[in-house]
Amino acid sequence: MDTLIFLIGFMGSGKSTLGAKLARQIGYDFVDMDQLIEETAGMTVPGIFNELGEKVFRKWEHDIVLELSLRDNLVISTGGGAPCHSDLISIMNKNGTTVYIKLPPEALAKRLLHSKTERPLIKGKSEQELLDFIHLKLKERDSYYKQATHTVDGINLQTGSLISLLEERGRQV
Ligand code: S3P
């Protein structure tokens, strides 16, 4: 039985908050990929994008997914772009269970407008520009996100329903 759970989904879908809660409730460890990259690099995500470029950040995402794939009893909240390059969605699916937290563009925009986290890809965008960007990116990323083992509605999502879903589908948590 694999015991790795990858939460995937767009920026602002609540992966980190839900992931930390889920891990606590099922007694698994928790890793937030962006946070791990920041700690390892000694730089913030916006700093990495600005100073080293997105390509370097994506390479580190790749390396971290490979590294985390060797672990057990772990919930991982991935960066929004992580499953969408370097065949990472297949690697995640091969080594664990992926859960796509799906939200409509309008809900994502609302959350992102109020978020305190600095995100290089959406920095400085107006509300309309943000909404247009989300529509565009979701179109690009949809073919990756929909490869997830499970897709859940992210509106009012509680960890209890995530646990039931994982249990229902044969996972012991
Ligand atoms: C990104 C999402 C961010 C972070 C980086 C790039 C993306 O993570 O990895 O800014 O490409 O969607 P969150 O999804 O946690 O915001």
pLDDT digits (tens, 9 = 90+) for 123-168: 999 999 999 999 999 999 999 999 999 999 999 999 999 999 988 8
Range 16-25 average pLDDT: 98
Q: How far is CA 146 from the centre of its chain?
A: 13
State which of 34, 134, 140 you would mutate to test the pocket of ligand 1, scoring each by most atoms of that ligand within 8 A of its C-beta: 34
**Do residues 17 and 156 make contact, with C-beta atoms less than 8 angstroms apart?**
no
* Average pLDDT across the chain, whole number: 95
Closest residue to atom 11 of ligand 1, CA basis: 81
State which of 121, 125, 137, 142 you would mutate to test the pocket of ligand 1, scoring each by most atoms of that ligand within 8 A of its C-beta: 121
Residue 143 or residue 171, greater confidence? 143
Ligand 1: centre distance to CA 171 (Å):
28
pLDDT digits (tens, 9 = 90+) for 4-14: 999 999 999 99
Range 30-51 average pLDDT: 98
Q: What is the pTM of this model?
A: 0.96
Closest residue to atom 9 of ligand 1, CA basis: 79
Closest residue to atom 4 of ligand 1, CA basis: 79
pLDDT for position 94: 97
Bridge partners of 20, per DSSP, are: none
CA distance 125 to 21: 30
- Listed residue (149, 45, 173, 164) closest to 101, CA to CA: 149
pLDDT for position 1: 42
* Of 51-55, 111-115, 156-160, 165-169, the least confident: 165-169
pLDDT digits (tens, 9 = 90+) for 88-102: 999 999 999 999 999
Residues with CB under 6 A from ligand 1: 11, 34, 45, 79-81, 119-121
